[in-house]
Amino acid sequence: MKLLTGNDLKTGFVTWWTGSDWSLHIEDAADVGEHGEAILAAEEGARRVNAPYIIAGEQTPEGPRPAHIKDRIRALGPTVRPDLTLKPADPAAGDWVI
Amino acid sequence: MYKYDEYDHAMVEARVAEFSDQVRRRLAGEITEDQFKPLRLMNGLYLQLHAYMLRVAVPYGTLDSRQMRMLAHIARKYDRDYGHFTTRQNIQYNWIKLEDAPAILEELASVEMHAIQTSGNCIRNISSDQWAGAAADEITDPRPWAELLRQWSSFHPEFSYLPRKFKIAVIAADEDRAAMRLHDIGIQIVEKDGVHGAAFYVGGGMGRTPMIAPLIKDFVPLEDMLSYAEACLRVYNRYGRRDNIYKARIKILIHELGADEYRRQVEEEWAHVKSLGIDPPNAEFDRIAAQFAPPALDASAPDEIDRSDPDFAVWLDQNVAAHKVPGHAIVNISLKPVGGIPGDASSAQIDLMADLAEKYSHDELRVTHAQNIVLPHVRKADLYTIWQALDAAGLATPNLDLISDIIACPGLDYCSLANARSIPVAQKIATRFSDLDRQKELGELKLKISGCINACGHHHAGHIGILGVDRKGTENYQLLLGGSGAEDVSLGTITGPGFDEDGIVDAIERVTDKYLAERTEGERFVDTFRRVGMAPFKEAIYG
């Protein structure tokens, strides 16, 4: 699957294209398929998200999972500060990254 | 400490107003990210993996308690309650919102701080010896010269768009505590026939192509230091490569020209530049130097220290250094607790260090390139009280210059350029070697980790260096041995094939075991490596 991601203009937080809007949670991310470039161009024009780009991922029972560790770290948060990730209450969340 | 004059205040305040308007226009959608990016970078605002990151300059690593408290305040109010002290004596905040950036810069300006020129292809924050003004071995305090360079380089119109970033360090002791020869320009204040001058080492650096700066001029009269620096930069600005980012640093130019030809061109340029009158009059230097006057220390203060608390005695031996004034000492605060994140400090810890500086260190602190903090002017009689306060705050780890005093860049946990995580590797190594007796048995051992080839973690200069790389989407760690950023400067050599995260920790243990087996009396790790060479270590690592 193909995922579209970027950083929110105001906060810089990592954000994912859901098919109609942007979400901080990768679980909401949609497969953009072959439409990624067109969505990317339109969203760059809207200027809500910085430097959006398309990545490869796979669909898993837990939801979309980026192919590269860098984007998995982006999706969750720093592996060395679980308290600052999007899932601070889940001690096993880091396993998803590695 | 240097205090802003009216020009400093006006420059910084004007920049805050200018950037505030740029942020407003960006948030309103009036300018694109491509247009905005160079503007935010000029103000130290990066976009990293999880959020905007703000890098705040700490000129030559010196700050007072008021400024330190402001750093804590920013961490608390605008970030996530911590800051990260960097290998260039700065501090970075990892979770900044763009809309907050103007307010943060305004608050910084209120305590004479800013983030100007902490990014971009300009002259970056001038770094220096963290023990400046306190070290017994210095011939003078190098910071007035660093401050002069700061003023000269701030908004220098000719050097705001160099081929690439440019880093300068100034020291005034033979013991190099600032990795001076791994800078674009390293200046050592030296003495010749009773007169002080500046030795210029130019063209050093780490990154993709590490190089040790050659000596370009052994003695520049101090009154000509700025014009000579200007000549060095001019030759670089004229001929440095702008067509290839990987060959744009001055080290590549000097390597390709040769040090002799570069020196000749600088001399030619200097003959012209000297006639322009850019070197400041003595009165101006004296004005700056007066602000770095040594604090009034009582040389008759008691020299004896009660060592009856064994934990205190361990810290005293490892983290406290000699001061040039009797009865006083230099306190090195380790930001490397076992299992912690190198260089990180919470707002409460930053506040505590500010309080201790105000009460016990003549209101001064220093940030070190090894990502620690220094209280430079402490009475020996106050050491036990300081240690108790540090210990209660988790800041009394007695590991200065030991294997767990690891320099590590933010790596892939935070940095958009990184290929591999640095911090977890540092944590695993520190945990593996957590036994202090074992660390002390190994002695001075500088371990440095970078998460990519840009080498922010100084891996080339580590007695043991680790470079994280991306191997087909998986983190892999190369091991280097034999580097040094000190006066015995050298570049590490890669041992061979890399390792995974756990494998690199095992490899380091094999290396240190080999060192213990091979060393002779008094040899540090790096000394043994230099004596016996790579082969026995390679055999120990790979079999």
Q: Distance from A35 to chain B by nearest Cα, in Å?
A: 23
Predicted pLDDT at A47 = 79
Q: B33 to chain A: which residues are within 8 Å by CB?
A: 9, 47, 50-51
Predicted pLDDT at A48 = 86
Domain tally, chain A: 1
Q: How confident is the model at residue B253 (pLDDT cuts 50, 70, 90)?
A: very high
Residue of B521, B427, B482, B288 lying closest to A82 (CA atoms) = B427
What letter represents residue B456's amino acid?
C
Q: How far apart are CA B21 and CA B7, in angstroms?
A: 21
Q: Tell me the average pLDDT across B522-526.
A: 97
Partner residue facing B97 (CB), from A11, A68, A73:
A11
Q: Which residues of B touch chain A, with CB atoms under 8 Å apart?
A: 26-27, 29, 32-33, 47-52, 80, 95-99, 341, 412-414, 418, 421, 423-424, 427, 473-475
pLDDT > 80? residue B184: yes
Q: How far apart are CA B322 and CA B182, in angstroms?
A: 26
Q: In chain B, whose CA is at the least distance from the CA of A69?
A: B473
Give the residue numbers spanning the domain of A6: 2-95
Structure tokens at B302: 């008691």
Predicted pLDDT at A44 = 80
Residue of B280, B296, B276 lying closest to B288 (CA atoms) = B280
Tens digits of residue pLDDT in B343-375: 999 999 999 999 999 999 999 999 999 999 999
Structure tokens at A53: 């780009």
**Cβ B398 vs Cβ B404: under 8 Å:** no
DSSP B51-78: SEEEEEP-GGGEEEHHHHHHHHHHHHHH
Q: Distance from A68 to chain B by nearest Cα, in Å?
A: 6
Partner residue facing A79 (CB), from B48, B51, B413:
B413
Partner residue facing A80 (CB), from B33, B51, B413:
B413
Structure tokens at B444: 């001075």
* Percent of chain B surpassing pLDDT 90: 99
SS3 for B384?
A: helix
The residue among B22, B31, B50 with the most chain A CBs within 10 A of its CB, best to mutate, is B50
Q: Distance from A21 to chain B by nearest Cα, in Å?
A: 18
Predicted pLDDT at A2 = 98
Tens digits of residue pLDDT in B21-30: 999 999 999 9
Terminal alpha carbon distance of chain B: 54
DSSP B337-371: -TTS-TTEEEHHHHHHHHHHHHHHSTTEEEE-TTS
Q: In chain A, whose CA is at the least distance from the CA of B412?
A: A70
Q: Tell me the average pLDDT across B466-479.
A: 95
What domains can you pick out in chain B, each with its CATH number?
A: 6-109 (3.90.480.20), 142-289 (3.30.413.10), 310-392 (3.30.70.3340), 407-542 (3.30.413.10)
Q: How confident is the model at residue B271 (pLDDT cuts 50, 70, 90)?
A: very high
pTM over 0.90: yes
SS3 for A90?
A: coil
Q: Which residues of A touch chain B, with CB atoms under 8 Å apart?
A: 7, 9-14, 47, 50-51, 67-70, 73-74, 77-81, 84
How big is the A-B interface in CB pairs under 8 Å?
A: 65
Average pLDDT by consecutive 10-residue portion of chain A (98 residues)? Answer: 96 96 97 94 85 95 95 97 95 89
pLDDT > 90? residue B231: yes
CA distance to B40, B41, B220, B248, per residue, from B458 (Å): 26, 22, 29, 19
Q: B412 to chain A: which residues are within 8 Å by CB?
A: 69-70, 73
Asked if B473's CB is within 8 angstroms of A80's CB, the reply is no
Q: Distance from A34 to chain B by nearest Cα, in Å?
A: 23
DSSP B399-430: -TTSTTS-EE--GGGT-SS-SS-SHHHHHHHH
Exposure string of B186-196, with b = 16+ CB inside 10 Å and e = fewer, is: bbbbbeeeeee
